[in-house]
Structure 1
Amino acid sequence: MGGSKPWPQVSVGNKDHTSAAVVIIGAGISGMCMAIDLIRRNKCHNFVILEKSSGVGGTWHDNKYPGCCCDVSSHLYSYSFEQNPDWSRVYPGQEEILDYLIHVAEKYKLYKYIRFNTSVEEARWDDNELKWKTDVKVSGDKDSEFNDCYTITSDFLISAVGQLNQPAYPKIPGLDDFHGRVMHSARWDWSYDLSGKKIAIIGNGATAAQLLPELTKTASAITLYQRTPNWVMPRLDAPVPSLLRSAYRYLPPLLWRARALQMDFREDFYSAVTDSDSVIANQIRGWCGDAMRAAFPDQPEVWAKLTPEYAPGCKRVIISDDYFPALAAPNCTLETSPIRRITPTGVSVEGGTEQEFDLVVLATGFQTIEFLSPIKITGANGRGLADIWEESGGATALYGTTVPSLPNFGLFYGPNTNLGHNSIVLMIEAQSRYLSTLISNVLDARTSGKPLALQPKASRVAVFNAEIQERLGKSSFADERCSSWYKNAEGRITNNWAGTVVEYQEVLSKVDWGDFEAVEKGGKGSGVVLGGKKETKLGRVREETVVGNTALVVAGIVAVTAAVGAVVLERRRGGRKW
């Protein structure tokens, strides 16, 4: 297929349906970024994206609950190479973010690479062929009539499933016996009429803070079951005026500056979630106290229930303008007693009576520390990923992207790459640039007839993770007074990055080939640095402000001149009439 085109440039077709250069698991922000980089940087089209859902968007396709939105400003929560001047709000809602991601998929023509309703069951590294074998299951009724399961062979395997894809269901006695309706926030049923219902919300994190204000508008009564309180700071959300959106559209440097200022603010916020004694951490305490007392004036008993004892950042800081007002609504009740069990008709707490409900909402988050669960990954010499991580005391990876004994394998949003202060998209783009460089070397080797398998050296991964755990141990994330989805059962912080985004981007601004070794047939690592190379410099996207206002004005003049010139040229050609 593909005529005279080189092998990597040929898209996967009917004849090679079960063979690809690269397999990407997931069509969310990470998977789409990887695909775009393969096309733009590597000129590679020989890849497939496997998506278990029916559409692109990842977590923004799956999470559709009332009030679902992002806690990072819209201009920063988007690709640097595909900035959007038309966000309607400072903080976008789920539907608008999904529309943006659909637009990206359409613009970069990604749909032809995606196989929807296709979930990955297992992936195995073949020590002799030096390839991955990925078993998939087809869930779409019509598609499954052709073949409901098959195996894809690939040179490289990319996990872009992220940390927020498998709902976490609480282990509460009696939950399965409830006679009313039970819904997890990540599996919302919009056909269910909420009007006049009695609703229990279990959980009080970011999801509950978004749900509660919406549900109080229609429910007859709501009880929020809180295990531990959260720090809450103002969102300061607002519509983006149409005039400003027009300015962003026709004067791109203004949009770049808006994004850069958001980047600066978010990076400054780093100390708030890592240093409990920082000025901004204390400011969060003040903001939270002010908002709480405004919603609950002269109610110190409520203040005590809503004020955390742990440092800001130990759990994710909630950003909301309407959480406390919703909690103070006449039809809302805060319950802090531990849940004893779910009964067929409601919820019973310790030392209290049962409350009856029509609907129980589980705002209990995701299975975060398992990462690729429930996919079974087996690497070189039959070593399973679960075993590799069990031996190291929890999920670990070199820069959160590659794992020992998993040759030609890459991770997005992997161990220790989550953020508590900035946009995860900034991390994803750095990871994509880094992984596309590894893939490029593997594909070049195959093109020359010399198969190449790369894996990070176990010793290098151990050193990196020791360094990062030492830093994390001194941060607010490690505060023993709270538990969070950042930590595993042993208290090891497996999810969060220890530094700023700029630090991470600098780390991934080059590939140090001394971090890797080639894997020979039979699964044995050679310890050899790739072809004698020392490093490949990649650079990074500089999101922070790097130019002054004068340079910005000059850039704006150039942009306006170019726009006017384009209009004049179009008129001369007899094109669009303005």
Structure 2
Amino acid sequence: MMKRLSRVLGRGSSEHPVKQAAVPTAQANGAEAKVAQTESAEPWILEERSIDSSRPLRVVVIGSGISGIISSIRLRQRINKLDLCVYEKNTDVGGTWLENRYPGCACDIPAHTYQATFEPNKEWSTFYAAAPEIHKYWKRVSEKYDCEKYIKFNHQVVGATWDSTQSKWKLQVKIADSAEIIEDQCDALVSASGALNEWKWPTIPGLHDFKGKLLHSACWDQSYDYSGKKVAVIGNGSSGIQIVPGMLPKVTHLDHYIRGRTWLSPTFAREQIDKRSSELENFSFTPEEIETFKKDHSAYQKFRKEIEKELQSVHGATIIGTPEQVGTTDLFTQNMKRRLQRKPNLVDELLPAFPPICRRLTPGPGYLEALTDDKVDVISSPIVKIVEDGVVTADGKHHPTDVIVCATGFDTTFTPRFPIVGQDSLSLTKRWEQTPENYLSLAVDGFPNYFICLGPNAALGEGNLLLLIEKEIDYITFCLSKMQRDNIRAMCVRKEAVERFTRHCDQYFSRTVFSMECRSWYKGGSSNGRIVALWPGSSLHAMKALAYPRWEDYTYEYVNDNPNGWIGDGWAEDERNKIINVDYLDDNQVDFPTAVIAKAIESVKEQVNGVAQ
């Protein structure tokens, strides 16, 4: 009985071949000629690895908010031989939705568009979900995908330095409530700490001389009961717009101090609100609706896609001179007049001179309606100082109050919260001293193997931010996979690629409403500064731009300084382990060109129909 060929020849050996410089015996004119063995002068570039083996990578993610949770899931899903660690300064996951718990704190876009694409939630209780419910959702996602196994809570990264000799990031990590600093290192560092997480008190004279209760929207004292108090809310940005209606039911009086005018947008899915006869731009889903969503996936998908489509249809209104942009002022004006009809005199006091969408867009459920309440006074005279018992404004008036709430936002400069030092001892703070230049919002020249989620130029003036976050993380996984596949120890975006993207952003924004004169965190809190926060396009545009990395925009350093190392030593990994896999012949693996046949049939039909006509 004949032995199978594979048994005679073997299925491969795990032993690496011996390096040889000798040239085998040759036949010349029928005579055997010995060719002298000579040591090759060429460097040995045959890397002793399988072509499809994955180089082990240690990756550290900073932060376990939304970006950190999704990073943990996708990295473990797509990166082989991954050693993952997530450092989180807080005691739990959730980031923004763990830290921000002021009254009225909620998502300012519909909840069904503020979730992971791969983890739909059919049980949102309200159209604009509140912070506790959003945190509960992301906590559930984290637990479902076992993210917390890789998270070290109460650990805050306080320093990161690139070691060029080892191609490693050297990290200093502080353990909470102690002076202990531990050292760590990784091959790649992912910043998922977000942009708006460094809050600050406003620079108002006498602020800390106030003898009543002083609160900040980003550091809310949930144990404090403000019921029956006179309250002053400073600021009409996104937080202030939510705090005013959130606190109003419990207070005896509320003074709302506004530095600048702002537009409140019409809400999304207006017909959903109208059919529920809601006047506050928000509504709760009935138990019957939630049960229908849970049982009937098609009904849920129909509703979700309807909201998503409307969210993704606003981009034209951001380009100066388009029909959509020209019509927004009238549309927004009528919306605000309708909602302020109980106090129509407020319309002239609140309507801005700049066009809609120049500043962050929010429908502000309940905000304008709250301003018409008899318990609320809108004060536009600038604050001069804070005294022990209240606020003094430029018109000379003294406004007594029991509570001062500073809804004055965050540090929006993108300055790193801790020292990050890249190649040639260059700090990221110094690199971004003039402006936070970057590449596609997620990479910086001079900082190899460093990726940023929601870095400069990553926010959106309209569209779906969660989609952009997911696509950024997809992009990062592509880069890490390439490092493994091509045996790369360091990859870094080219300086010229960063400069091109910077010019691109400036040219793009020059013809958008974002460039017009209005104070905005998009410009670092200035009125006429460079736009550093926004993506140069829609979220659908970002989805396409981040779909496939342009590898030519990066430089590479290879393991053993061997650019040929990716091709390995002639073996495939399974083959080396004596596993011969031919599933490439399975029907679900074969790329059948059925579309070509379908097009050919369609072409024939068109020709026949053309002749018949």
Band of TM-score, shorter chain: 0.7 to 0.9
Moved more, 288-297 or 323-332: 288-297
Aligned partners of 2:233 and 2:557: how far apart in 1? 50
Q: Which runs of 5+ in 2 are unaligned?
A: 1-51, 268-280, 568-613
The structure number with the bigger radius of gyration is 2
Partners of 2:343 and 2:372 within 8 A in 1: no
Match of residue 270 from structure 2:
none
Per-residue displacement from partner, 1:523-566 (whole Å, max 9, x unpaired)?
A: xxx9x99979xxxxxxxxxxxxxxxxxxxxxxxxxxxxxxxxxx
Q: Report the CA distance between 1:286 and its aligned residue.
A: 3.1
What is the rounded CA distance, in whole Å, between the counterparts of 1:413 and 1:30 in structure 2? 8
Report the 3-state secondary structure (helix = DSSP H, G, I; strand = E; otherwise coil) of the residue aligned with 1:477. helix
Q: Give the aligned partner of residue 418 of structure 1.
A: 459
1:305 partnered with 2:349: yes
Residue in 1 aligned with 2:289?
A: 244
Aligned pairs for 1:363-442 (under 5 A) are: 363-370=407-414, 373-390=416-433, 393-442=434-483
Summarize the Cα distance change of 1:344–1:316 in structure 2 as closer, same or farther, 3 Å threshold: same
Q: Percent identity?
A: 31
Question: Relative to 1, partners in 2 of residues 1:529 and 1:233: Cα closer, same or farther, differing over 3 Å?
Answer: farther
Map of 1:103 onto structure 2: 140
Aligned to 2:112: 75
Deviation at 1:349, TM superposition (A): 0.8
SS state of the match for residue 217, structure 1? helix
1:249/1:294 CA distance change after superposition, 3 Å: closer
Partner of 2:379: 335
After superposition, the Cα gap between the structure-2 partners of 1:167 and 1:304, relative to the gap in structure 1 and judged at 3 Å, is same
Aligned equivalent of 2:503: 466
Cα gap change, 1:193 to 1:530, in 2 (>3 Å): farther
TM-score, normalised by the number of residues in structure 2:
0.77
Deviations 1:46-105 (A, max 9, x none): 111111111101101111011111111111100001111111122211111100000001
Aligned CA RMSD, in angstroms, stands at 2.5
Counterpart in the other structure of 1:213: 245
Cα offset, 1:470, TM superposition = 0.5
- Say if 1:310 and 1:202 are closer, same or farther in 2 by CA, change over 3 A: same
Shift of 1:335: 0.5
Measured at CA, do residues 276 and 73 of structure 1 come closer, stay the same or move farther in structure 2, by a change above 3 Å? farther
Judging changes above 3 Å, is the alpha-carbon distance between structure 1 residues 96 and 421 closer, same or farther for their aligned structure 2 residues? same
Q: Please, which moves more after superposition, 412-421 or 43-52?
A: 43-52
Residue 218 of structure 2 aligns to a residue whose secondary structure is helix
Shift of 1:219: 1.1
User: Is structure 2 residue 79 aligned with structure 1 residue 42?
Assistant: yes
Q: Does 1:499 align with 2:540?
A: no
CA contact (8 A) 2:206 2:387 kept: yes
Q: How many residues align?
A: 499
Asked whether the 8 Å contact 1:231–1:285 carries over to 2, the reply is: no
Q: Retained in 1: the 8 A contact 2:340–2:347?
A: no
Amino acid at match of 1:155: D
* Whole-Å separation in 2 of the counterparts to 1:463 and 1:101: 36
C-alpha separation in 2, matches of 1:381 and 1:374: 21
Quote the offset at 1:389 in angstroms. 1.7
1:399 Cα deviation after fit: 0.7
2:552 corresponds in structure 1 to: 514
**AA at the equivalent of 2:76:** I
Contact 2:239 2:407 in 1 (8 A): yes
Aligned to 1:136: 173
Change (3 A) 1:246 1:37: same
Partner of 1:233: 265
Amino acid of the structure 1 residue aligned with 2:426? R
| 1:351-381 deviation line (CA, Å, top 9, x unaligned) | 222212221111111112225x322111011
> What's the offset of the Cα at 1:291?
3.4
SS at match of 1:122: strand
Describe the superposition over 1:179-211 as per-residue Cα deviations: whole angstroms up to 9, x where unpaired.
222111011111111011111111011211111
Alpha-carbon distance between aligned partners in 1 of 2:565 and 2:242, rounded to the nearest angstrom: 49
User: 2:358 maps to what in 1?
Assistant: 314
What is the DSSP-based 3-state SS (H/G/I as helix, E as strand, rest coil) of the residue aligned with 1:461? helix
Which one of 305, 309, 331 corresponds to residue 286 of structure 1? 331
Structure 2 CA distance, aligned partners of 1:355 and 1:402?
Answer: 48
The aligned counterpart of 2:398 is: 354
Structure 1 residues 240, 299: CA separation in 2 closer, same or farther (over 3 Å shift)? closer
TM-score (norm 1): 0.82
Runs of 5+ consecutive residues of structure 1 not aligned to the other structure: 1-5, 11-19, 533-578
Distance 1:468 1:531 in 2: 35
Mapped to 1, the partners of 2:297 and 2:342 lie a distance apart of: 45
